[in-house]
Every structure is written in structure tokens, then in C-alpha cells.
Homo-oligomer: A and B are copies of this chain.
């Protein structure tokens, strides 16, 4: 069950970084929704490695193959299985790591958990697992679009550079995927500096859903915030999530932050579109903290599986800042959570909205 997300819109990813393939089964896609495989591929292309000088140079075409669930261009309502074969694997890069737990990585915790481990490129804990999430998210986006819900996102912080505004169209035009073009340039410089120092740098990704009707989510355990908390923190390398004004609210007063509704619209959106766990009709705004990537070329102190310390400089092809490639993943996860909330609301009320 550990690789499943969602109940009504259930997504199960599979695959190791250097195994035969990665992929996903989406169980719960509503029927009769038009799906063009090119739409799925476009999302995967946004996630794939080698897009720019700022990302890893591993070369994966990431061509998606749909194995089931589509018929004559529309969904059947049955599970949609999608697969991407791994191609540019270099297991030899990892042979030296067979007996080593890398700092910052899951290697040690993994060994304690499973007692067995695919040491090649992180195996299942590789960011490559997110291929399946993005493919599933692409389906979710198509379904949500049928009722006018759309999703955008971008990198809003890298190191100490913070985006000052949000022009979401701009985000797709620069390699950092920053909605503030001036900040984007500074961010790119920071990433290059980190890369050249054989280091990595963290950041923050923001995703926004527009057109979400009021009424999705639940008041207690399955609050929409809670669904988002689970799905954002399930993305590798995330260390925090906040909704609307998030942690900044800790320093504020209620009189400043209660959103006022007037004429069916909120005059402000401190709550990030969610009141008491339920969408309130305003944009749903989520930010995710991304840690600096663990794989760096600088020499660090690692531990062998025998418990001895050993110096380690990680070779292989890695991202100095994963934010640009997390953006499509975070959008996908937002789409998955919204699909789940949408279908549950349909179950509750027996109507589309």
C-alpha cells in the first residue's frame, strides 16, 4: 500500500531508478474523458532530465506508453496503466556505493527498513519514481479541466533569492521555472555557483489551483489541507508545506487575517482557498520547502554497511537544484489531491459540483 495515493482516484507508482521501467496505474479515472497521449508526454517532458544546463545530464527520452484504459481516444473508466522504460542507466556508476550509506540519502534508513537494497541510483527512493506521478497528474489535469479547474506552478525561492511576484506564464519561459523573471536570473546564477562548487541549493516551489469550487475537502481528518500535506510531503526532498500565508500567520493577528467574503467572493486570500478544511472558492495556494539535493560532488563523510566512516565524493549525474523539476511534480500532486476531493464531493452530494 505504500506506493498508493488516494482512495477514489487511486494512483500506484512502480519502478526503480535503474530497473527495467518506471510507471503508474491510475484506478478511478472517470469515463468518457478525451485523452491525447501527447498531453501526457508534454507533462513528462517538463519533468525529464537534461532539459537545461541547470539539471542533471542523464539522458532519458521518457516516452510514455499507455497500456490500458483508453479506447478510441477516451477513458473507459478502467485502470490506466502507463509505463516509461529506463534507458540511460549506468549501474557501474553506483557499484562503489553497494556497501556505502550516502550522507543525506535514505540508504541507511532503507537498509534498516527492508534489510535489502537496490543501491543503483537510489533504487526506488530515486526522484525517478515521480515519472509515474507526473503521468497520473496529467490525467488528473485533463479531468479537472472539464469543469474549469486549472493548475499552475513555479519556483518562488532558491537559496536566499525570493520571487517578488507571480506571472505564471513567465514561469515556463525560464529554466528555473520562476514566475518572476528578474528573480529567475539571480536564481539561475545561484544554481550555477552551487553546481560549480560541487554543491547543491534548496528552494521553495509554489503551486496554485484556480477554479476550484467551494465545498471540496472535509472538516476533520480528510481536510483538503491534510490531503495536500500528505501529497506534497510525499514528494522526495520536501521538508515542509504551507497553505495560503502559512507560517507567516504565526506572527499575525486574527483581525488582520480573517478573509472577508463579500458578494460571494473573498476580498483577500490569507487562507489559501481553504476554510476549515474545505475549499472556499478562492485560489488554492500551496508552497513546498525543498531541501538542497543530497547528492553532491564535494567530499563528505559516509558510512559503510559495516559501520565504518569513509570519505565519499559522489560521482554520477545530479541536479544542483531540483526545484525546476519539482514544479511539474508538485502540480501533478496538487491535481491528484483535487481529483480525490472532487470525486468524494460527487459521492457526498450526487452531482458534479
A234 at interface by CB-CB < 8 Å: yes
Contact in complex: A71, B12 (CB < 8 Å): no
Question: Considering residues A222, A239, A259, A274, which has the most beta carbons from chain B within 10 angstroms of its beta carbon?
Answer: A239
Q: Per-residue CB proximity of A194-233 to B under 8 Å, as 1/0?
A: 1001011111100000000111111111110111111111
A22 to B124 alpha-carbon distance, docked (Å): 23
Mostly, the A contact residues are mixed
Q: Per-residue CB proximity of A221-257 to B under 8 Å, as 1/0?
A: 1110111111111101011111111110111111111
Interface range on chain A: under 10, 10 to 19, 20 to 34, or 35 or more?
Answer: 35 or more
A106 to B219 alpha-carbon distance, docked (Å): 8
A23 at interface by CB-CB < 8 Å: yes
Contact in complex: A239, B229 (CB < 8 Å): no
Instruction: Of the listed stretches A2-10, A51-59, A168-176, name the one at the interface; the rest are far from the partner chain.
Output: A2-10
Q: Which residues of B contact A200 (CB under 8 A)?
A: 253-255
Contact in complex: B278, A109 (CB < 8 Å): yes
Q: Which residues of B contact A296 (CB under 8 A)?
A: 254-255, 258
Min CB–CB distance A72 → chain B (angstroms)? 8
A237 to B116 alpha-carbon distance, docked (Å): 41
Contact in complex: A81, B250 (CB < 8 Å): no
**CB under 8 Å from chain B, chain A span 283-340:** 289-296, 298, 300-303, 307, 309
A160 at interface by CB-CB < 8 Å: yes
Query: Of B2, B219, B289, which contacts A246 at CB under 8 A?
Result: B289
Contact in complex: A114, B230 (CB < 8 Å): no
**CB under 8 Å from chain B, chain A span 120-137:** 122-125, 129
A157 to B248 alpha-carbon distance, docked (Å): 11
Contact in complex: A226, B220 (CB < 8 Å): no
A50 at interface by CB-CB < 8 Å: no
Q: Quick one: given A69-B14, A277-B106, A347-B347, are A2 and B221 in contact (CB under 8 Å)?
A: yes
Q: Which residues of B contact A76 (CB under 8 A)?
A: 16, 114, 116-118, 123-124
Contact in complex: A257, B114 (CB < 8 Å): no
A347 to B341 alpha-carbon distance, docked (Å): 10
Contact in complex: A254, B214 (CB < 8 Å): no
Min CB–CB distance A305 → chain B (angstroms)? 11
Contact in complex: A214, B109 (CB < 8 Å): yes
Q: Quick one: given A1-B28, A202-B250, are A104 and B234 in contact (CB under 8 Å)?
A: no
Nearest to A222 among chain B residues (CB) is B2
Q: Which residues of B contact A103 (CB under 8 A)?
A: 258-261
Min CB–CB distance A290 → chain B (angstroms)? 6
Nearest to A101 among chain B residues (CB) is B261
Q: Which residues of B contact A117 (CB under 8 A)?
A: 76
A3 to B219 alpha-carbon distance, docked (Å): 8
A185 at interface by CB-CB < 8 Å: no
Contact in complex: A275, B105 (CB < 8 Å): yes
3 nearest A-B residue pairs (beta carbon): A106-B276, A229-B229, A104-B258
Given A14-B68, A16-B71, A77-B113, 6 more A-B residue pairs with CB atoms under 8 Å apart are: A14-B27, A19-B71, A113-B348, A226-B233, A228-B229, A247-B247
